[in-house]
Amino acid sequence: MNAFRFNIRALRECLKPGVRLMAVVKADAYGHGVQPCAEAALAAGAEVLGVGIIAEGIELRHCGIDAPIHLLIGILPDEIDDLLRYNLSTTLCSQPLAEAIAKKAAAQNKQADVHIKVDTGMGRLGIGWEELPAFIEFLSGLKTLNVLSVFTHLSSADEDVDYTRLQLDRMQEALDLVEQNNLPCPPVHCANSAGLLNFAESQCDMVRLGIALYGVVPPVPQGHVPTQSPELKPVMHWKTRVLRINALPAHSYLSYGRRFITRRDSRIAVLPVGYADGLSRALSGNMEVLIGGKRAPQVGTICMDMCMVDITDLPAVKEGDEVVLFGKQGDDAITVEELSSRYHTIPYETLCGVGKRVPRVYLP
């Protein structure tokens, strides 16, 4: 976990004085394992944990974690009891849901912690930015609700400078309206990983960091100069081993659909990893692995539990040898960004997709 802790320290150095850090550990900490990452994040100075759904918050409570936990996508009405039982805080952008939470909290003589979500251009969750004063005033009448923050989400901080600044301007307009109406304004947060690194003005009172914690640097919009450029280290390395080596003559078909045929006498290594483990079938014939520090092409259709690589040019490879799907081996490395680009997706999806049956081994 040294790389994870290193990244948190590096990212904290990017923050202005007094800015708090929410470590986003949803989706099993982007595939890395939620409990180890949550504990490491808190130990390294994160003040809040962010998760997606209520089950993830409950899981952290069962792990003995008592730090503040924010449910970023919010809850459904039938999840209010668990919200209160496990002392979680939820995103809120609905008057009926606010009333329902307040009513149940009052019945249990509790306070419910909520975060107001403002839609400044994501088009997903949130009240309209011009509606913020009225929503704050409405919530002030619900005495069992404790508004911890108001926040928005930047949709294109890794792609579009103008649109990101438009979103930040809309958020500021909403906050100005709150001030003009003499209403109390809670702490504000706007920045995700791309926002923090590309737009210093997005820091506000707290930042919500996800992908950068795990060592992936978000892209920089074309023509834009990032405001922060910390060194980050990849946290996950995905490895397997050679299960079997087959000697096949030229003109032999491989795998489902016979989409690959050997053009020469070949040595084919079978690896015990497939699409059930998160190695997308879309990568079939379009990726490389590292064996003995050298690259070998994947060949044939990736199966549910296995795939094959051509090691004809690597005569020293033997059964049991370590294979790297992404990570470093010897003098070479395959990054998660490289692997993701080969099937036209983003590192988020690749990392989150590494399946539960792939063992996680945590190094100090």
CA pair distance 299, 288, nearest whole angstrom: 9
- In the chain, what percentage of residues exceed pLDDT 90? 98
CA pair distance 92, 77, nearest whole angstrom: 12
User: In this predicted model, what pLDDT tens digit does every residue of 170-225 receive, in sequence order?
Assistant: 999 999 999 999 999 999 999 999 999 999 999 999 999 999 999 999 999 999 99
Q: Which of 64-78, 159-173, 222-236, 331-345 has the lowest mean pLDDT?
A: 222-236
CA pair distance 36, 24, nearest whole angstrom: 13
**Residue ranges of the binding site:** 124, 304
> Is 90 exceeded by the pLDDT of residue 227?
no
Question: How far from the centroid of its chain's Cα atoms is residue 149's Cα?
Answer: 21
Place of tokens 């995700």: 192
**Segments of 120-158 assigned E as strands:** 127-128, 145-151
- In the chain, what percentage of residues exceed pLDDT 70? 100
Token pair recorded at residue 114: 């909520």
**Catalytic-residue membership of 110:** no
Q: What's the rounded mean pLDDT across residues 262-286?
A: 98
Catalytic hit among 26, 30, 275, 348: 26
Token pair recorded at residue 71: 């449910």
Catalytic hit among 103, 256, 318, 362: 256
Token pair recorded at residue 210: 């996800």
The per-residue pLDDT for 90 is 98
DSSP codes of every residue in 243-280: -EEEEE-TT-EESGGG-EE-SSSEEEEEES--GGGT--
**Catalytic-residue membership of 26:** yes
Closest Cα to residue 90, out of 69, 109, 111?
69
Q: What is the dihedral of CA 304, 308, 309, 312, to 10 degrees?
A: 180
> Is 90 exceeded by the pLDDT of residue 252?
yes
**Residue ranges of the binding site for substrate:** 124, 304
> Is 90 exceeded by the pLDDT of residue 326?
yes
Place of tokens 């910390």: 230
DSSP codes of every residue in 35-69: HHHHHHHHHTT--EEEESSHHHHHHHHHTT--S-E
Residue 53 contacts by C-beta under 8 Å, 6 or more apart in sequence? 26, 71, 73
CATH 3.40.50.300 describes domain 2-214: no
Place of tokens 């190094």: 363
Q: What's the rounded mean pLDDT across residues 230-238?
A: 96
Domain 238-353: give its CATH architecture: Beta Barrel (2.40)
Where in the chain are the domains? 2-214, 238-353
> Is 90 exceeded by the pLDDT of residue 364?
no
> Is 90 exceeded by the pLDDT of residue 228?
no
Closest Cα to residue 78, out of 58, 52, 104?
104
CA pair distance 118, 289, nearest whole angstrom: 44
